[in-house]
């Protein structure tokens, strides 16, 4: 072999070694990058999240904080404190601590869920996940990005779709588990104490309301309007607007703000006159009382994905199978799990909270445990419903979430104290 050929062969071998080295270095760098971004960043017990998931969590907390700040839901002192910290190290430290605590609490709760084999309410959890997912999707659409591109842009370049969905699910599951724990410990005294402090949010107001366009003539009419009894007011209402204007307000927020305070104040009575930029309101307060109406607990299978015919056929086929079996609640639940993903128990349904035909069936006084029906709504939605029981009185159902939130802190600390928090 000539010296020239030997030099060429040696040169090729050298290039091959160099290229191989570069390739292996590249693979090693890729491995390090993957390992760094996908290994656990925070670990509590058997559950962990990676750095990209942590960054997403922290950004979500900051976004929520900013939304609350802009809407005025945060106390003035706390808002001033936060504003002072913006752009400073303390600001980042604050959100790091807050994120650490939320992640710590959530991962600790996930360990508790494993131990206690907690099962989610599929309807509510799926709705919550869909709501959170759609919110991000809408933000992505507004930014002309798809979901994956958006979460990498907004939260972390290393975040993938499944990790993002996992974070949303962790937050939902942990909240629902805490809810289930605290709910069972609430006493009648808890409800009564809450009612004393927040009765305006738990009462129903009934009134006769005359609503007139805000103009000079009607302003003059309002100024001179006077009645001495409810019946006299009703007669005037019929004369001015053709009806007595009877209204039932289930919450203060449903009532026009110009007279809501009057209507939901226990000491007020009789006539009130007010106006906003569009309307004049003449109001006679008829009654204010605690929202004692019954609620209902029901298991519901929802068929919303197909057309009307397919959804109805599916519901009827499942109903036939139910009727041919032992027709128990447990059998209905088993069929729900087998055939319908959007299914589960809905608790404390209030009469005015759902569609009229469904409400009429649920609250029929002849209704009893084990009754089953198929109800349609809109163009294609179909519901297969199993009536289980009456729930809490409506005012207690409204109070429940608020009382639970007040009790969350104590039980979260108890759960956290069982597990070690580790952060890389």
What confidence tens digit (pLDDT) does each residue in 263-311 have?
A: 999 899 999 999 999 999 999 999 999 988 899 999 999 888 788 889 8
The alpha carbon dihedral of 314, 318, 319, 324 has a sign of positive
Burial class of residue 25, CB neighbours in 10 A (0-12, 13-18, 19+): exposed
* pLDDT tens digit sequence for 49-105: 999 999 999 999 988 887 766 655 555 455 455 555 455 557 778 888 889 999 999
Please give the residue that has the higher pLDDT: either 342 or 160. 160
Alpha carbon of residue 32 to chain centroid = 39
Q: Which residues pair with 215 in a beta bridge?
A: none
Q: How many CB atoms lie within 10 A of CB 210?
A: 26
* Residue 107 in this model has a pLDDT that exceeds 90: yes
Give the confidence band of 411 by pLDDT, cuts at 50, 70, 90. confident
**pLDDT grade, residue 32 (50/70/90)?**
very low
Structure tokens at 283: 């109001």
Helix orientation angle between 51-71 and 3-38, rounded to the nearest 10 degrees: 40
Which string of b and e fits 50-70 if b means at least 16 CB within 10 Å? Answer: bbbbbbbbbbbbbeebeeeee
- Quickly count: other Cβ atoms within 10 Å of residue 48's Cβ: 17
pLDDT attached to residue 38: 57
pLDDT for 34 beyond 70:
no
**What is the arithmetic mean of pLDDT over 330-340?**
87
pLDDT of 106 reads 93
Query: How far are the Cα atoms of 196, 245, 338, 393 from residue 193, in angstroms, in the given order?
Result: 5, 34, 43, 16
d(CA 127, CA 95): 28
**Is the Cα torsion angle 197, 413, 69, 401 positive or negative in sign?**
negative
C-alpha separations of 309 from 143, 297, 305, 314, 316 in Å: 38, 28, 11, 9, 11
pLDDT confidence tier of residue 243, bands split at 50, 70 and 90? very high
- 251 confidence band (pLDDT: 50, 70, 90): confident
Q: Sheet of 270-275: strands edge to edge?
A: 246-249, 203-213, 279-290, 270-275
CA angle 260, 261, 263 (to 5 degrees): 65
- What is the model's pLDDT at position 389? 95
Using a cut of 0.85, tell me whether the model's pTM lies above it.
no
Asked whether residue 135 carries a pLDDT value surpassing 50, the answer given is yes
Local confidence band at 409 (pLDDT 50, 70, 90 cut-offs): confident
Measured CA to CA, the distance from residue 317 to residue 323 in angstroms comes to 10
Q: Is residue 5 very low, low, confident or very high in pLDDT (cuts 50, 70, 90)?
A: low
Q: What is the mean pLDDT of the chain?
A: 84
Which of 137-141, 179-183, 264-268, 345-349 has the least mean pLDDT? 179-183
What pLDDT score was predicted for residue 241?
A: 95
The β-bridge relationship of strands 381-393 and 372-377 is antiparallel
Distance CA 122, CA 130 (A): 12
- Convert the pLDDT of each residue in 337-390 to its tens digit: 888 765 678 889 998 888 888 999 999 999 999 999 999 888 888 999 999 999
Query: How many CB atoms neighbour CB 86 within 10 A?
Result: 8
The pair phi, psi for residue 289, each rounded to 5°, is: -150, 160
Over 60: is that where the pLDDT of 31 sits? no
Residues 6+ apart with CB under 8 A from 332: 299, 322, 372, 386
The band of 228, judged by pLDDT with boundaries at 50, 70 and 90, is: very high
407 versus 3: the higher-pLDDT residue is 407
């Amino acid at each position: 072999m000539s010296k020239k050929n030997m030099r060429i062969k040696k040169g090729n071998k050298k290039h091959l070694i160099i290229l191989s080295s570069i390739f292996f270095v590249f693979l090693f760098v890729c491995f390090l990058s993957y390992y760094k971004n996908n290994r656990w960043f925070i670990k509590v017990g058997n559950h962990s999240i990676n750095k990209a998931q942590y960054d997403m969590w922290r950004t979500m907390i900051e976004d929520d904080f900013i939304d609350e700040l802009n809407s005025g839901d945060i106390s003035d002192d706390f808002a001033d404190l936060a504003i002072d910290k913006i752009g400073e190290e303390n600001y980042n430290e604050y959100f790091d601590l807050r994120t650490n605590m939320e992640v710590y609490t959530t991962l600790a709760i996930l360990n508790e869920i494993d131990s206690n084999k907690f099962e989610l309410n599929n309807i509510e959890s799926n709705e919550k996940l869909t709501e959170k997912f759609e919110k991000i999707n809408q933000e992505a659409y507004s930014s002309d990005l798809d979901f994956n591109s958006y979460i990498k842009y907004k939260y972390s370049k290393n975040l993938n779709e499944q990790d993002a969905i996992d974070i949303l699910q962790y937050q939902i599951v942990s909240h629902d588990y805490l809810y289930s724990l605290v709910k069972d410990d609430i006493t009648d005294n808890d409800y009564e104490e809450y009612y004393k402090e927040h009765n305006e949010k738990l009462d129903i107001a009934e009134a006769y309301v005359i609503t007139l366009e805000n103009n000079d003539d009607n302003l003059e009419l309002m100024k001179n309007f006077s009645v001495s009894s409810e019946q006299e007011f009703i007669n005037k209402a019929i004369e001015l607007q053709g009806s007595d204007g009877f209204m039932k307000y289930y919450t203060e927020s449903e009532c026009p703000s110009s007279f809501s305070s009057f209507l939901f104040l226990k000491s007020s009575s009789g006539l009130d006159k007010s106006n906003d930029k569009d309307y004049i309101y003449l109001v006679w307060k008829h009654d204010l009382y605690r929202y004692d109406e019954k609620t209902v607990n029901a298991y519901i299978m929802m068929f919303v994905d197909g057309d009307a015919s397919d959804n109805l056929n599916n519901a009827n086929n499942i109903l036939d199978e139910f009727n041919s079996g032992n027709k128990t609640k447990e059998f209905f639940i088993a069929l729900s799990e087998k055939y319908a993903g959007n299914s589960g128990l809905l608790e404390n349904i209030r009469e005015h909270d759902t569609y009229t035909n469904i409400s009429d069936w649920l609250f029929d006084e002849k209704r009893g445990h084990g009754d089953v029906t198929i109800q349609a709504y809109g163009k294609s939605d179909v519901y297969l419903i199993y009536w289980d029981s009456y729930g809490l009185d409506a005012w207690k159902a409204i109070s429940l979430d608020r009382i639970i939130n007040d009790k969350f802190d104590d039980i979260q600390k108890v759960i956290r104290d069982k597990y070690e928090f580790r952060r890389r």
